[in-house]
Structure 1
Amino acid sequence: MNPSMKYALLLFCFAASIRPLTAQDSIVQNVTARRELNLDGRWNYMVDPYETGYYDYRHQPYDQSPSGKGGYYDDRKQTDKSQLIEYDFDRSPTLKVPGDWNSQDEKLLYYEGTIWYRRVFQTTPQPGRRYFIYFGAVNYEAHVYLNGKKLGMHKGGFTPFQFEVTSLLKAGDNTLVVKADNTRHQDEIPTVNTDWWNYGGITRDVCLASTPETFISDYQLQLKKDDPHTIEGYVQLAGQHSPQTVTIDIPEAGIHTTTTTDGGGRAPVAIMTKKLAYWSPEHPKLYAVSLSTATDTTVDRIGFRTIRVQGKDILLNGKPVFLRGICIHDENPLIPGRLRGEGDCRMLLTWAKQLGCNYVRLAHYPHNEAMIRLADEMGLMVWAEVPVYWTISWTNPDTYANAQKQLSDLINRDRNRAAVIIWSIGNETPLSAPRLDFMSRLAAHAHQLDNTRLVSAALEVHRQGNEVIVDDPLGEKLDLVSFNEYAGWYWGDKLADLPNYHFTIKYDRPVIITELGGDALAGFHADPDTRWSEEYQEALYANQVKMLSGITALRGITPWILVDFRSPRRQHPVYQNFWNRKGLISEQGVKKRAFYTLKNFYDTIAKKYPE
């Protein structure tokens, strides 16, 4: 190769190594198996409401200027006493990462805007290795810089992203800077109007991951649709795409097989087996799986099960199942803020198990990957959702592209988790032709990416007197009839009238009630007719159970919600004080009376649907 060709190749490789992710890219699957350096901990931060560190006085981005210099990401130090530098990361305060800024500093409780984060870390990059900076989530728009060079930008407050930094990493000190902006915008996903706290910041883990030059970047191993005896999927390599042998080992299942990659580095997988113990809530079996090539090995724990719809039934491993569920937000009520790790996640899922659940709806956005893996381990089926919520900009092509990208990222991250049985494309979206087109395309995309799971959405209902009507044309595109109803709280004058409601449901499919409930301030006791009392919430649940028993196709419910959570929309100074009080557990972890009402119902249902 002549020198000019070598130089061109080096330039190409350098550009490729620092390019931002596009919609066609996927993150490194099971990144924790690749983690070389954990970057969690204390990060210096600066609040920048005018984005002075990003724009010059003409409001032009510094990182788009010819020099690419001038922003806070340069992390400049004064080398001469005459120098003018109007920021200083070294003497700035710190925030914990992972963690939101709202709960760490009282002055930032309601803050929406830009905050700059900086972390200095030491490493010694090794020849023949590739390196990636991985973020579990940053809310909402993140611009990322390493050693003064921009890696790229990511939108979406709940999905992971990464950038390759092989060419930029230095031996010794490296400076990682993140511009995090949680400002709400109409054309984003979610939009300006939500019912949860807009926690800003680097809310999930950050790490430096390391791989060989050619490595296993992605894989899917799940039971083939409607076939409990065939493990189907693929293994995708990144790097050299000449044909390579991939070995798959699942020793406990007696599986040792090989497959070969094609010119794009992809190897199909089809393994016949009759020795599998199937994953279920009663027996959440996970197998140790090893994938290896001549240059790389990665390991995972994967469960295998089938899920499908037959008439009005949901079949798990071929047996009818009733989804005894509860909705959960990604929020710790005891230590304010987003869930920070496995301990927080385990606490919420343990409460769900105590309630008698075999199923959880993780609303209204992708939750921490640790939550999904724990659900796998603990035996809880999962409804996983993207934040297409309420009044999205249905006709904006960029908004749709954003929603589809977030859905893709969710599916790509969690498609090897047996616990996930339903991909949800949204919640309570109002009827219109543009909305139907938007949502129908999302449903088709989810089915295309993963045909082994069910696809649904939490629909709205309409009422005519005591008739509750479910007739949303989006239902034609979904595998389940799933909808929210708030009889006894937002509609209906007397709780005793709830059993008089009847449901007219257009679609002949299993019915899932994705939300129901009412508020109760823990410790406030009165008669069952007094709003906000525990007795009112208890009576509401008792009458809901009677009302819902009239739906012959009912195969699951996820009442709203497991635990009280913060919301700026909830402003009653006595009963709410910026908390949504529909939780069955208070922000102090105290179980309300309705918790036991629902638990008794679930205990009865469990006897009818043994798993």
Structure 2
Amino acid sequence: MKIPMNDGWGFIEEFDRDLLKAEFDQESLQPVRIPHTVAETPFNCFDESIYQKVTGYRKVIRPEDSWRDRALNLTFEGAAHAAEVYFNGELITTHYGGYTAFTVDLAPYIRFGKENILVVKLDSRESLNIPPFGYVIDFLTYGGLYREVYLEVLPKIHLKDVFVRTEGVLKEEKIMIAEMTLTEFKDVEGNKSEGQNSVKAVFSLRHHNTLESRELGRAIIEEEKSTHRFIIKDVELWDIENPNLYSLEIRLDNREEAYDFPFGFREMKLEREGFFLNGRKIKIRGLNRHQSYPYVGYAMPKSPQVLDADILKDELGLNAVRTSHYPQSKHFIQRCDEIGLLVFTEIPGWQYIGDEKWKEIALQQVEEMVIQYRNHPGIFIWGVRINESPDQHEFYKEANKIARVLDPTRGTGGVRYIKNSELLEDVYTYNDFSHEGNNSGIEKKHKVTSRKKAPYMVTEYNGHMYPTKAFDDEPHRRAHALRHAKVLNDIYKEQDVLGGFGWSMFDYNTHKDFGSGDRICYHGVMDFYRNKKLAAEVYASQQEKEPVLALSSSMEVGEYPGSIRGDLYVFTNGDEVRLYKNDRFIKGFTQEQSPYPNLPKGPILIDDVLGDRLEEESRFSPGKREDLKKALLAVAKHGPNHLPLSVKLVALKLMLRHRMSIEEIGKYYTQYIGDWGQEATSYSLEALREGRVIARIEKKTMKSVDLSIKRDRKNLVEEETYDVATLRIQAVSESGNLLSYLAEPLIVETEGPIEVIGPKVLTLRGGMTGTYIKSLGKPGSGKVTIRLDHRVKKTLDFTVEVMKREEGMRIL
């Protein structure tokens, strides 16, 4: 029986040993629910020391008689970063590391018929001698019991761990191997059990989609560790397009409750020639993800974690994610399994390697990571180096050994920025920040490592090389997008590069030593609330599930110096686009014309906004029209003062041969391109696939403001803990175009059993913002009203459902 332990906690900002006393007044503490952060932070411009402290959590438990003679395994999924757990005043365990779970058995310490006091002393200071601490870090580490807590009431003899792995999955008869670890045959007090020295196990296989279940076999188990091998036919493989999941169900001694271990049948190979999934070569296309959110840092429950995975797969069109720079929520990883998103996960750390004690804890974190995550089929590689750290032979030799012993089915990698680093892992993983906007997207593999036969993967690119805010001007946002396009294009070009992970999915809070001075790194292709910047469209356009059509310009001439728009780019997953001006067809452009030919769907350059419009000048000869068009388009791209020599010669030809003055050429520019002197100019684009229009956008001067609110759910369902809905908000015109420079406040009001996480006055940044709506533990209906001064009012309805908790516990 699994009992959520996320309600009924009391919190104090400075730990006090009086918390350990039974007579301590629980009501004097701040009531909190888990996940919880030790300090809510502003969106930006704050001192990160506000969460770096030693805090206390306290909970009162009265056990039921049904718990007698049972193991009582209490699990903390994430406690940042050093946790001392006390039960009835006694220290029962200490855990170092905020990114992996830990479990302690309460049975030896519990007192039946009395109140039991559970206390956690939590140290979130960055002075701790554990990873990732020791030097500067380019992300905030926050603090709190930020992932869920639960209690499992289990028989004395129960399963501690099962590792499910598969072999020969491309054959008709596939092999599934279950490596089981039982508790020792001892009683609760730790004495050798006299009554039971074996258990009967029944193994079944269940498909997650069809729920079809079949028995695989039975066994009598007499040892703590055992291995069970099954030959299985007629199962479907886990793949990024069809992520078929199965569960191995194990029932011990005919008990009613079965153990459930999700996994997938798949074959992954990391080779010099590429990454192969079930025999098919796949170019890895991913982004790096931090697990942080505005205001509450790491402390978010299941729904926002699931949403991030869905955004990566469905909105950004990716097939992979790197959990930089630490293991992340089981909810996130499980969702990646469900939707077919590959995962590169790694141990905590950032550049620094500490002393022997520090390294001992790091190696323990390797072990915890692999054991806790190895049944997830989406994970394709273990990161066993500290991100961007120097070589340390013995340390990394041991880290690789631990990972390979615990999981011989996956390769190892270690993210580095060093060329020709010692390679103890299976894959040379390298952060390539060589692209500067006008050079190759990535370096050649042979310039980075001499290990020609080793698989090679780019693990970070762009990011700090070109920070971009959602409220930067259009030329900056366009350049940001094209940098991502260039690097991704060159990754696709190189056959000996497995793929790459861009930096990063979204903007994030950082330390004073990094970012833009406001505690934010604006390195994302999305903003902190997960609203798209233009660069996100580079990735989104690589998928074909949902139509994508975005233009790099608002077409407002006043946005550009000298009214020179420069190059225009379209990001689309269509085969071609058609450009219209004032509803008149100008020209069509195809994917074959993209300057990024290696991408499945490269950005399309719109290099002709004239089309055949000069045909209206019937008195011009064809040659004169052609020369005039070249000159006008060149001025539109470069401006009159920066024309290439070849265009200057064309202009000279117009003046000498065709007898046109500079003033006359300027008149035609204004008439056909400059949009000056025209009462209303609009542009529209259509994206087509196989001759059918799949998307259409219109660019014209705005007349009114609206709010586009994208929410992931309107029904909040409390299962293990509170639920959270994410609202992503954009200010748009009547044509649906983002109003990037609208920076007014939004007022948020709630009614019913819900509340806002963070401030109730939101700031539009780059025309975008967001908020989070949290359930309060009571069922019912709620409303959220969002106002933009007197111009816009939006009301959203919500319902809250509270699921019945497991029986057997009362929380006081």
The bucket for the TM-score relative to the shorter chain is 0.7 to 0.9
The correspondence of residues 95-106 of structure 1 with structure 2, limited to 5 A, is 95-103=32-40
TM-score, length of structure 2 as denominator length: 0.60
Match of 1:360 in 2: 321
Contact 1:259 1:267 (C-alpha < 8 Å) held by counterparts: no
**Mapped contact 1:389–1:426 kept (Cα < 8 A):** no
1:237 to 182, 194, 197: 182
Give the equivalent residue in structure 2 for 1:57: none
Corresponding residue to 1:292 among 235, 251, 259: 251
Matched, 1:128 2:69: yes
Instruction: Give SS of 1:418's match.
Output: coil
Q: Which amino acid aligns with 2:529?
A: Q
Hey, what does 2:461 align to over in structure 1? 516
Q: In the alignment, what sits opposite 2:617?
A: none
Q: Deviations over 1:308-327 (max 9, x none)?
A: 23432222112212212111
Contact conserved, 2:353 with 2:389, CA < 8 A, in 1? no
Return closer, same or farther for 1:605/1:479 CA change in 2, 3 Å cut-off: farther
The answer for the alignment partner of 1:336 in structure 2 is 296
Please list the CA deviations of residues 491-514 of structure 1 after superposition, one character each: whole Å capped at 9, or x if unmatched.
x4xx11235954423222332211
The residue that corresponds to 2:501 in the other structure is 558
Higher relative contact order (CA 8 A, sep 6+): 1
> In the aligned structure 2, how far is the partner of 1:322 from the partner of 1:147?
54
**Which residue of structure 2 aligns with residue 479 of structure 1?**
426
Q: Is the 8 A contact 1:458 1:514 kept in 2?
A: yes
Determine whether 1:221 maps to 2:164. yes
**Whole-angstrom CA distance in 1 between matches of 2:338 and 2:76:** 23
Q: Give the counterpart letter for 2:181 in structure 1.
A: Q
Deviation at 1:542, TM superposition (A): 2.7
5 Å-filtered alignment, 1:319-330, equals 319-330=280-291
**Which digits, 9 at most, give the CA deviation of each residue in 1:82-105, with x for residues without a partner?**
xxxxxx543132343212212279
Amino acid at match of 1:486: F
44, 54, 58: which one aligns with 1:114: 54
The answer for the alignment partner of 2:2 in structure 1 is 35
Worse overlay, 503-512 or 400-409: 503-512
Write the distance in 1 (CA, Å) between the matches of 2:425 and 2:180: 29
Instruction: Report the residue type matching 1:416 in the other structure.
Output: N
TM-score for the superposition, normalised by structure 1: 0.79
CA 225–176 in structure 1, closer or farther in 2 if over 3 Å, else same = farther
| d(CA) in 2 for partners of 1:109, 1:509 | 43
State the distance in 2 between where 1:295 and 1:180 align: 41
* Matches of 2:184 and 2:444, distance apart in 1: 59
Whole-Å separation in 1 of the counterparts to 2:98 and 2:267: 31
Question: For the residues of structure 1 that align with 2:366 and 2:154, how far apart are their CA atoms?
Answer: 26
Shift of 1:256: 1.6
**Cα distance in 1, alignment partners of residues 342 and 514 from structure 2:** 34
Report whether the alignment pairs 1:188 with 2:149.
no
Q: Is the 8 A contact 2:347 2:366 kept in 1?
A: yes
SS in 1 for 2:335: helix
The equivalences for 1:54-69 within 5 A come to none
User: Deviation of residue 301 (structure 1)?
Assistant: 2.9
Percent sequence identity over aligned pairs: 19
Report the alpha carbon displacement of residue 536 of structure 1 after superposing the two structures with TM. Answer: 2.9
Query: Which one of 436, 441, 464 corresponds to residue 398 of structure 2?
Result: 441
Any idea what the Cα deviations from partners look like across 1:334-353, whole Å, max 9, x if unmatched?
A: x5321522201111111101
Can you list the C-alpha shifts for 1:230-257, whole angstroms capped at 9, x where unaligned?
A: 1113122214272333221115474521
Q: Residue 351 of structure 2 aligns with which residue?
A: 390
Q: CA deviation at 1:258?
A: 2.1
The question of whether the paired residues in 2 share the 8 Å contact of 1:117 and 1:178 is answered with yes
Residue aligning to 1:318? 279
Q: Deviations over 1:113-166 (max 9, x none)?
A: 210111223331423322122111111111111222221111111111111111
Distance in 2 between residues matched to 1:148 and 1:336, nearest whole Å: 30
Q: 1:607 to 1:302 in 2, by over 3 A?
A: farther
Is it true that 1:94 corresponds to 2:9 in the alignment?
A: no
Native 8 Å contact 1:102 1:109 kept in 2? no
Structure 1 position 298, deviation (Å): 1.3
Which of 234, 254, 267 is residue 306 of structure 1 equivalent to? Answer: 267
Q: Tell me whether 382-391 or 535-544 shows the greater mean CA deviation.
A: 535-544
Give the direction of change, closer, same or farther, for the CA distance of 1:563–1:269 in structure 2 (3 Å limit): same
- State whether residues 223 and 305 of structure 1, in contact with CA within 8 Å, keep that contact through their aligned partners in structure 2: yes
The Cα RMSD (Å) is 2.7
- CA–CA distance in structure 1, aligned partners of residues 118 and 328 of structure 2: 25
Q: Name the structure 2 match of 1:258.
A: 218
Matches within 5 A, 1:413-492: 413-432=372-391, 435-461=392-418, 470-473=419-422, 475=423, 477-488=424-435, 492=436
Q: Residues 488 and 500 of structure 2 are in contact (CA less than 8 Å); yes or no, is this contact kept in structure 1?
A: no
SS at match of 2:310: helix
In the superposition, relative to structure 1, how do residues 325 and 190 fare at CA in structure 2: closer, same or farther (>3 Å)? same
Distance 2:601 2:198 in 1: 53
Contact persistence 2:308–2:332 (CA under 8 A): no
Q: Which runs of 5+ in 1 are unaligned?
A: 1-33, 55-70, 78-87, 462-469, 528-532
Aligned with 2:204 (options 228, 237, 249): 249
2:468 maps to a residue whose letter is: A
Structure 1 residues 578, 225: CA separation in 2 closer, same or farther (over 3 Å shift)? farther
State the aligned residue count. Answer: 517
Contact 2:203 2:218 in 1 (8 A): yes
**Distance of 1:361 and 1:340 partners within structure 2:** 19
How many angstroms does 1:176 deviate by?
1.1
Match of 2:482 among 534, 539, 556: 539
1:545–1:215 CA distance, 2 compared to 1 (3 A): closer
Paired amino acid for 1:270: R
Equivalent in 503, 506, 512 of residue 450 of structure 2: 506
Q: Matched residues in 1 for 2:535 and 2:411: separation? A: 30
Q: Structure 1 46/350 Cα, relative in aligned 2: closer, same or farther at 3 Å?
A: same
Q: Does 1:168 align with 2:168?
A: no
- Once residues 607 and 549 of structure 1 are traced to their aligned partners in structure 2, the CA distance between those partners, rounded to angstroms, is 11
Deviation of 1:591 after TM superposition, in Å, equals 0.3
Counterpart-to-counterpart distance in 2, 1:203 and 1:500: 37
Counterpart-to-counterpart distance in 2, 1:545 and 1:235? 42
Cα drift, residue 547 of structure 1? 4.3
Alpha carbons of structure 1 residues 547 and 316: separation in structure 2 relative to 1, 3 Å: closer
Residue of structure 1 aligned with 2:473, choices 521, 525, 533? 525
Distance 1:307 1:178 in 2: 41
What SS does structure 2 have at the residue aligned with 1:343?
A: helix
Matching residue of 1:27 = none
Q: Does 1:497 align with 2:454?
A: no
Distance 1:101 1:509, change over 3 A: same
Tell me by how many angstroms 1:452 deviates: 0.7
